[in-house]
Amino acid sequence: MDDLQQLVQKLQNTRHLEKEEWAALIRGRTDMLAEYVFSLARKERHQHYGHDIYIRGLIEFTNYCKNDCYYCGIRKSNAGVMRYRLGEEQILSCCSAGYALGFRTFVLQGGEDGWFTDERMIHIVGAIKSRFPDCALTLSIGERSKESYQALFQAGADRYLLRHETFNAAHYSLLHPSSLTAASRQKCLWTLKDIGYQVGAGFMVGAPGQTPEYLAEDLLFLEKLKPHMVGIGPFIPHHATPFAGEPAGTLEETLFLLGLIRLLLPKVLLPATTALGTIAPNGRELGILSGANVIMPNLSPANVRENYTLYDNKLCTGAEAAAGIQELKDRMCAIGYQIVTDRGDSRM
Protein backbone atom coordinates (compact mmCIF):
# COMPACT_ATOMS: atom_id res chain seq x y z
CA MET A 1 0.00 0.00 0.00
CA ASP A 2 1.46 3.37 -0.97
CA ASP A 3 1.46 6.65 0.93
CA LEU A 4 -1.58 8.05 -0.82
CA GLN A 5 -3.65 4.93 -0.18
CA GLN A 6 -2.66 5.25 3.44
CA LEU A 7 -3.94 8.81 3.46
CA VAL A 8 -7.27 7.57 2.11
CA GLN A 9 -7.40 5.03 4.93
CA LYS A 10 -6.61 7.71 7.44
CA LEU A 11 -9.44 9.78 6.01
CA GLN A 12 -11.85 6.88 6.36
CA ASN A 13 -10.75 6.11 9.91
CA THR A 14 -10.57 9.61 11.32
CA ARG A 15 -12.76 11.70 8.95
CA HIS A 16 -10.00 14.26 8.98
CA LEU A 17 -6.90 15.17 7.00
CA GLU A 18 -4.50 18.05 7.36
CA LYS A 19 -4.49 20.66 4.61
CA GLU A 20 -1.22 19.37 3.17
CA GLU A 21 -2.55 15.84 3.13
CA TRP A 22 -5.68 16.84 1.22
CA ALA A 23 -3.57 18.72 -1.30
CA ALA A 24 -1.22 15.74 -1.71
CA LEU A 25 -4.17 13.41 -2.38
CA ILE A 26 -5.67 15.77 -4.93
CA ARG A 27 -2.34 16.37 -6.63
CA GLY A 28 -1.46 12.69 -6.65
CA ARG A 29 -4.71 11.33 -8.11
CA THR A 30 -4.25 8.32 -10.38
CA ASP A 31 -6.88 6.02 -11.85
CA MET A 32 -5.86 3.35 -9.38
CA LEU A 33 -6.09 5.63 -6.38
CA ALA A 34 -9.45 6.89 -7.60
CA GLU A 35 -10.81 3.32 -7.92
CA TYR A 36 -9.70 2.68 -4.36
CA VAL A 37 -11.50 5.84 -3.14
CA PHE A 38 -14.66 4.92 -5.08
CA SER A 39 -14.81 1.40 -3.65
CA LEU A 40 -14.56 2.71 -0.08
CA ALA A 41 -17.00 5.53 -0.83
CA ARG A 42 -19.58 3.10 -2.22
CA LYS A 43 -19.25 0.87 0.82
CA GLU A 44 -19.85 3.88 3.06
CA ARG A 45 -22.83 5.00 1.02
CA HIS A 46 -24.40 1.53 1.02
CA GLN A 47 -24.05 1.35 4.78
CA HIS A 48 -26.12 4.51 5.32
CA TYR A 49 -28.39 4.72 2.28
CA GLY A 50 -28.28 1.26 0.67
CA HIS A 51 -28.70 1.36 -3.08
CA ASP A 52 -31.45 4.01 -2.93
CA ILE A 53 -31.21 7.18 -4.96
CA TYR A 54 -33.17 10.22 -3.82
CA ILE A 55 -34.58 12.55 -6.43
CA ARG A 56 -35.31 16.28 -6.11
CA GLY A 57 -37.53 18.17 -8.51
CA LEU A 58 -35.64 21.30 -9.49
CA ILE A 59 -37.80 24.31 -10.32
CA GLU A 60 -35.74 27.17 -11.77
CA PHE A 61 -38.30 29.85 -11.08
CA THR A 62 -36.42 33.03 -11.99
CA ASN A 63 -33.31 33.76 -14.02
CA TYR A 64 -33.18 37.43 -13.03
CA CYS A 65 -30.07 38.05 -10.96
CA LYS A 66 -28.61 41.17 -9.41
CA ASN A 67 -25.15 39.61 -9.18
CA ASP A 68 -22.42 39.48 -11.77
CA CYS A 69 -20.42 36.36 -10.96
CA TYR A 70 -17.72 35.92 -13.59
CA TYR A 71 -18.53 32.26 -14.26
CA CYS A 72 -22.30 32.35 -14.46
CA GLY A 73 -24.39 32.58 -17.63
CA ILE A 74 -27.32 34.36 -15.95
CA ARG A 75 -25.11 37.11 -14.51
CA LYS A 76 -26.69 40.56 -14.54
CA SER A 77 -24.58 41.95 -17.35
CA ASN A 78 -25.37 39.16 -19.80
CA ALA A 79 -27.87 41.02 -21.98
CA GLY A 80 -28.31 37.97 -24.20
CA VAL A 81 -30.49 36.12 -21.70
CA MET A 82 -34.27 36.02 -22.11
CA ARG A 83 -35.28 36.78 -18.55
CA TYR A 84 -38.32 35.08 -17.02
CA ARG A 85 -40.12 34.62 -13.73
CA LEU A 86 -42.63 31.91 -12.89
CA GLY A 87 -45.73 32.93 -10.98
CA GLU A 88 -47.01 31.09 -7.95
CA GLU A 89 -49.58 29.13 -9.95
CA GLN A 90 -46.95 28.04 -12.44
CA ILE A 91 -44.67 26.92 -9.63
CA LEU A 92 -47.50 24.97 -8.02
CA SER A 93 -48.31 23.22 -11.25
CA CYS A 94 -44.65 22.18 -11.60
CA CYS A 95 -44.96 20.69 -8.11
CA SER A 96 -48.19 18.85 -9.04
CA ALA A 97 -46.57 17.34 -12.10
CA GLY A 98 -43.55 16.36 -10.00
CA TYR A 99 -45.68 14.87 -7.25
CA ALA A 100 -47.41 12.60 -9.76
CA LEU A 101 -43.99 11.45 -10.99
CA GLY A 102 -42.91 10.49 -7.46
CA PHE A 103 -41.01 13.56 -6.34
CA ARG A 104 -41.25 14.31 -2.61
CA THR A 105 -38.71 17.14 -2.52
CA PHE A 106 -39.01 20.33 -4.51
CA VAL A 107 -36.10 22.71 -4.93
CA LEU A 108 -36.91 26.32 -5.75
CA GLN A 109 -33.80 27.71 -7.35
CA GLY A 110 -33.31 31.15 -8.81
CA GLY A 111 -31.01 34.06 -9.31
CA GLU A 112 -30.95 36.77 -6.64
CA ASP A 113 -34.10 38.44 -7.86
CA GLY A 114 -35.42 41.35 -5.80
CA TRP A 115 -38.93 40.83 -7.18
CA PHE A 116 -39.21 37.78 -4.92
CA THR A 117 -39.47 39.68 -1.66
CA ASP A 118 -39.91 37.90 1.65
CA GLU A 119 -43.63 38.51 1.40
CA ARG A 120 -43.88 36.83 -2.01
CA MET A 121 -41.56 33.96 -1.07
CA ILE A 122 -43.41 33.31 2.19
CA HIS A 123 -46.64 33.05 0.25
CA ILE A 124 -45.14 30.60 -2.25
CA VAL A 125 -43.52 28.48 0.47
CA GLY A 126 -46.77 28.39 2.44
CA ALA A 127 -48.79 27.39 -0.62
CA ILE A 128 -46.42 24.54 -1.55
CA LYS A 129 -46.25 23.21 2.00
CA SER A 130 -50.00 23.27 2.47
CA ARG A 131 -50.70 21.59 -0.88
CA PHE A 132 -47.92 19.03 -0.48
CA PRO A 133 -47.59 18.46 3.27
CA ASP A 134 -45.63 15.23 2.81
CA CYS A 135 -42.95 16.93 0.72
CA ALA A 136 -39.73 18.66 1.70
CA LEU A 137 -39.07 22.11 0.31
CA THR A 138 -35.58 23.33 -0.48
CA LEU A 139 -34.73 26.92 -1.30
CA SER A 140 -31.72 27.97 -3.35
CA ILE A 141 -32.10 31.72 -3.76
CA GLY A 142 -28.76 33.08 -2.64
CA GLU A 143 -27.71 35.45 0.09
CA ARG A 144 -30.45 37.07 2.18
CA SER A 145 -30.69 38.57 5.65
CA LYS A 146 -30.97 36.47 8.78
CA GLU A 147 -34.50 37.78 9.24
CA SER A 148 -35.43 36.68 5.77
CA TYR A 149 -33.97 33.19 6.25
CA GLN A 150 -35.82 32.97 9.55
CA ALA A 151 -39.14 34.04 8.06
CA LEU A 152 -38.84 31.53 5.21
CA PHE A 153 -38.03 28.75 7.66
CA GLN A 154 -41.03 29.74 9.73
CA ALA A 155 -43.14 29.62 6.57
CA GLY A 156 -42.15 25.98 6.12
CA ALA A 157 -38.94 25.76 4.08
CA ASP A 158 -36.94 22.75 5.24
CA ARG A 159 -33.62 23.01 3.45
CA TYR A 160 -31.36 25.59 1.84
CA LEU A 161 -28.69 25.21 -0.82
CA LEU A 162 -26.00 27.86 -0.99
CA ARG A 163 -22.72 26.75 -2.46
CA HIS A 164 -19.81 28.41 -0.70
CA GLU A 165 -18.14 28.40 -4.19
CA THR A 166 -14.62 28.57 -2.72
CA PHE A 167 -13.49 29.01 0.86
CA ASN A 168 -10.38 31.03 0.13
CA ALA A 169 -11.06 34.79 0.13
CA ALA A 170 -8.50 35.61 -2.59
CA HIS A 171 -9.85 32.88 -4.83
CA TYR A 172 -13.42 33.99 -4.10
CA SER A 173 -12.58 37.49 -5.29
CA LEU A 174 -11.11 36.10 -8.49
CA LEU A 175 -14.50 34.53 -9.27
CA HIS A 176 -16.79 37.34 -8.09
CA PRO A 177 -17.08 41.12 -8.20
CA SER A 178 -16.03 42.95 -5.05
CA SER A 179 -19.64 43.32 -3.84
CA LEU A 180 -19.57 39.61 -2.99
CA THR A 181 -17.23 38.14 -0.38
CA ALA A 182 -16.30 34.71 0.92
CA ALA A 183 -16.92 35.90 4.47
CA SER A 184 -20.49 36.96 3.86
CA ARG A 185 -21.22 33.76 1.91
CA GLN A 186 -19.91 31.64 4.77
CA LYS A 187 -21.76 33.68 7.34
CA CYS A 188 -25.02 32.94 5.52
CA LEU A 189 -24.31 29.22 5.73
CA TRP A 190 -23.68 29.34 9.47
CA THR A 191 -26.84 31.41 9.95
CA LEU A 192 -28.93 28.96 7.93
CA LYS A 193 -27.61 26.07 9.98
CA ASP A 194 -28.27 27.94 13.19
CA ILE A 195 -31.88 28.56 12.22
CA GLY A 196 -32.43 24.85 11.71
CA TYR A 197 -32.34 24.35 7.97
CA GLN A 198 -30.73 21.26 6.48
CA VAL A 199 -28.02 23.09 4.57
CA GLY A 200 -26.07 22.39 1.43
CA ALA A 201 -22.69 23.92 0.60
CA GLY A 202 -20.45 23.16 -2.35
CA PHE A 203 -18.18 24.39 -5.10
CA MET A 204 -17.20 24.00 -8.74
CA VAL A 205 -14.35 21.66 -9.61
CA GLY A 206 -11.79 23.15 -11.96
CA ALA A 207 -12.96 26.74 -11.50
CA PRO A 208 -10.46 29.25 -12.92
CA GLY A 209 -7.57 29.80 -10.53
CA GLN A 210 -8.41 26.78 -8.38
CA THR A 211 -5.44 24.92 -6.87
CA PRO A 212 -5.14 21.72 -4.83
CA GLU A 213 -4.51 23.95 -1.80
CA TYR A 214 -7.73 25.88 -2.35
CA LEU A 215 -9.64 22.61 -2.72
CA ALA A 216 -8.01 21.45 0.53
CA GLU A 217 -9.41 24.56 2.20
CA ASP A 218 -12.85 23.76 0.78
CA LEU A 219 -12.70 20.28 2.29
CA LEU A 220 -11.55 21.65 5.67
CA PHE A 221 -14.46 24.06 5.57
CA LEU A 222 -16.88 21.20 4.85
CA GLU A 223 -15.41 19.28 7.78
CA LYS A 224 -16.12 22.24 10.04
CA LEU A 225 -19.54 23.21 8.69
CA LYS A 226 -20.79 19.63 8.50
CA PRO A 227 -23.47 20.43 5.93
CA HIS A 228 -26.28 17.93 5.31
CA MET A 229 -25.74 18.24 1.55
CA VAL A 230 -22.78 19.04 -0.69
CA GLY A 231 -23.26 20.08 -4.30
CA ILE A 232 -20.22 19.89 -6.54
CA GLY A 233 -19.89 19.81 -10.29
CA PRO A 234 -17.30 20.70 -12.90
CA PHE A 235 -16.89 24.31 -13.92
CA ILE A 236 -18.13 24.64 -17.51
CA PRO A 237 -17.45 27.88 -19.40
CA HIS A 238 -20.34 29.99 -20.66
CA HIS A 239 -19.64 31.89 -23.89
CA ALA A 240 -21.04 35.22 -22.68
CA THR A 241 -19.02 35.48 -19.45
CA PRO A 242 -15.50 36.72 -18.65
CA PHE A 243 -14.49 33.05 -18.28
CA ALA A 244 -15.63 32.08 -21.78
CA GLY A 245 -12.14 30.98 -22.78
CA GLU A 246 -11.26 29.06 -19.61
CA PRO A 247 -10.99 25.27 -19.66
CA ALA A 248 -13.74 23.19 -18.08
CA GLY A 249 -13.20 21.12 -14.97
CA THR A 250 -12.67 17.42 -15.63
CA LEU A 251 -14.88 14.42 -15.10
CA GLU A 252 -12.07 12.56 -13.33
CA GLU A 253 -11.30 15.24 -10.78
CA THR A 254 -15.00 15.79 -10.03
CA LEU A 255 -15.60 12.08 -9.45
CA PHE A 256 -12.52 11.86 -7.24
CA LEU A 257 -13.79 14.73 -5.09
CA LEU A 258 -17.24 13.14 -4.83
CA GLY A 259 -15.59 10.00 -3.45
CA LEU A 260 -13.44 11.96 -1.01
CA ILE A 261 -16.44 13.95 0.24
CA ARG A 262 -18.37 10.70 0.85
CA LEU A 263 -15.44 9.51 3.00
CA LEU A 264 -15.22 12.84 4.84
CA LEU A 265 -18.96 13.10 5.56
CA PRO A 266 -20.31 9.53 5.33
CA LYS A 267 -24.00 10.44 5.69
CA VAL A 268 -23.97 13.50 3.47
CA LEU A 269 -26.57 13.87 0.71
CA LEU A 270 -24.45 14.12 -2.39
CA PRO A 271 -25.95 14.83 -5.81
CA ALA A 272 -24.56 13.69 -9.14
CA THR A 273 -25.17 17.14 -10.61
CA THR A 274 -26.43 18.35 -13.97
CA ALA A 275 -22.98 19.76 -14.75
CA LEU A 276 -21.49 16.30 -14.25
CA GLY A 277 -24.10 14.87 -16.63
CA THR A 278 -23.27 17.64 -19.09
CA ILE A 279 -19.52 16.96 -19.42
CA ALA A 280 -19.95 13.21 -19.94
CA PRO A 281 -22.90 11.22 -21.32
CA ASN A 282 -22.69 8.76 -18.42
CA GLY A 283 -21.57 11.38 -15.88
CA ARG A 284 -24.57 10.82 -13.63
CA GLU A 285 -23.99 7.07 -13.45
CA LEU A 286 -20.28 7.56 -12.76
CA GLY A 287 -21.17 10.05 -10.02
CA ILE A 288 -23.42 7.50 -8.33
CA LEU A 289 -20.68 4.87 -8.61
CA SER A 290 -18.24 7.31 -6.96
CA GLY A 291 -20.40 7.80 -3.87
CA ALA A 292 -23.20 10.19 -4.85
CA ASN A 293 -26.78 9.33 -3.81
CA VAL A 294 -29.01 12.14 -5.10
CA ILE A 295 -30.17 13.28 -8.53
CA MET A 296 -32.00 16.53 -9.25
CA PRO A 297 -34.00 16.35 -12.48
CA ASN A 298 -35.48 19.50 -13.94
CA LEU A 299 -39.16 20.21 -13.22
CA SER A 300 -39.24 23.68 -14.80
CA PRO A 301 -41.70 24.26 -17.66
CA ALA A 302 -40.05 23.22 -20.95
CA ASN A 303 -40.44 26.67 -22.54
CA VAL A 304 -38.27 28.43 -19.93
CA ARG A 305 -35.70 25.71 -19.31
CA GLU A 306 -33.38 26.78 -22.07
CA ASN A 307 -33.13 30.25 -20.55
CA TYR A 308 -31.62 28.99 -17.30
CA THR A 309 -28.22 28.50 -18.85
CA LEU A 310 -25.60 28.79 -16.16
CA TYR A 311 -23.07 27.30 -18.60
CA ASP A 312 -22.98 26.20 -22.24
CA ASN A 313 -24.82 23.02 -23.36
CA LYS A 314 -26.51 22.60 -19.96
CA LEU A 315 -28.65 19.46 -20.16
CA CYS A 316 -32.38 19.90 -19.77
CA THR A 317 -34.04 17.12 -21.73
CA GLY A 318 -34.26 13.31 -21.67
CA ALA A 319 -33.29 11.76 -18.35
CA GLU A 320 -32.38 15.26 -17.20
CA ALA A 321 -36.02 16.36 -17.27
CA ALA A 322 -38.44 15.14 -14.64
CA ALA A 323 -40.70 13.88 -17.41
CA GLY A 324 -37.83 11.61 -18.47
CA ILE A 325 -37.89 9.92 -15.08
CA GLN A 326 -38.46 6.48 -16.57
CA GLU A 327 -35.25 6.73 -18.60
CA LEU A 328 -33.43 7.83 -15.47
CA LYS A 329 -34.91 4.91 -13.49
CA ASP A 330 -33.79 2.48 -16.18
CA ARG A 331 -30.30 3.92 -16.29
CA MET A 332 -29.89 3.74 -12.52
CA CYS A 333 -31.33 0.23 -12.47
CA ALA A 334 -28.72 -0.79 -15.05
CA ILE A 335 -25.93 0.07 -12.58
CA GLY A 336 -27.64 -1.61 -9.62
CA TYR A 337 -29.40 1.32 -7.97
CA GLN A 338 -33.05 2.32 -7.56
CA ILE A 339 -34.80 5.66 -7.50
CA VAL A 340 -37.16 5.88 -4.53
CA THR A 341 -40.25 7.95 -3.75
CA ASP A 342 -39.12 9.52 -0.50
CA ARG A 343 -38.35 12.92 0.99
CA GLY A 344 -34.80 11.65 1.37
CA ASP A 345 -33.95 13.51 4.55
CA SER A 346 -30.41 13.60 5.85
CA ARG A 347 -29.51 10.81 8.28
CA MET A 348 -27.12 13.10 10.16
Residue 163 to residue 85: CA distance in whole angstroms:
22
Contact call for residues 268 and 230 (beta carbons, < 8 A): yes
Applying CB under 6 A, among 238, 262, 305, 331 the residue interacting with ligand 5AD is: 238
Nearest to 99 by CA among 63, 62, 61, 137: 137
Among residues 65 and 92, whose Cβ is nearest to ligand 5AD? 65
Contact call for residues 267 and 245 (beta carbons, < 8 A): no
Nearest to 289 by CA among 315, 266, 312, 256: 256
Residue 149 to residue 127: CA distance in whole angstroms:
17
Applying CB under 6 A, among 46, 163, 329, 343 the residue interacting with ligand 5AD is: 163
Restricting to residues 59-118, name those near ligand 5AD by CB under 6 A: 71-72
Q: Stretches 43-51, 120-128, 173-181, 231-239: which one binds ligand 5AD (CB under 6 A)?
A: 231-239
What is the arrangement of strands in the sheet containing 159-161, beginning at the earlier edge strand? 57-62, 105-110, 136-140, 159-161, 198-205, 229-234
Q: E strands within the chain?
A: 52-55, 57-62, 105-110, 136-140, 159-161, 198-205, 229-234, 294-295, 338-340
Residue 123 to residue 93: CA distance in whole angstroms:
15
Among residues 165 and 217, whose Cβ is nearest to ligand 5AD? 165
Applying CB under 6 A, among 25, 310, 315, 325 the residue interacting with ligand 5AD is: 310
Applying CB under 6 A, among 65, 125, 180, 275 the residue interacting with ligand 5AD is: 275
Restricting to residues 31-70, name those near ligand 5AD by CB under 6 A: none
Residue 287 near ligand 5AD by CB under 6 A: no
Identify the helix (H) or strand (E) that includes residue 308. Answer: none
Residue 288 near ligand 5AD by CB under 6 A: no
Query: Binding residue per annotation — 347?
Result: no
Q: Minimum CB separation from ligand 5AD for residue 244, in Å?
A: 10
Interface with ligand 5AD (CB under 6 A), residue total: 12
User: Minimal CB distance to ligand 5AD: which residue?
Assistant: 311
Residue 34 to residue 50: CA distance in whole angstroms:
21
Q: Minimum CB separation from ligand 5AD for residue 336, in Å?
A: 28
Among residues 42 and 164, whose Cβ is nearest to ligand 5AD? 164
Applying CB under 6 A, among 103, 132, 172, 235 the residue interacting with ligand 5AD is: 235
303: helix, strand or coil = helix
Applying CB under 6 A, among 49, 311, 315, 316 the residue interacting with ligand 5AD is: 311
Among residues 137 and 201, whose Cβ is nearest to ligand 5AD? 201
Residue 342 to residue 292: CA distance in whole angstroms:
17
Beta-bridge mates of residue 106: 57, 137
Restricting to residues 191-220, name those near ligand 5AD by CB under 6 A: 204
Annotated binding site for [4Fe-4S] cluster: 65, 69, 72
Binding-site ranges for ligand 5AD (CB under 6 A): 71-72, 163, 165, 204, 233, 235-236, 238, 275, 310-311
Annotated binding site for (3R)-3-methyl-D-ornithine: 140
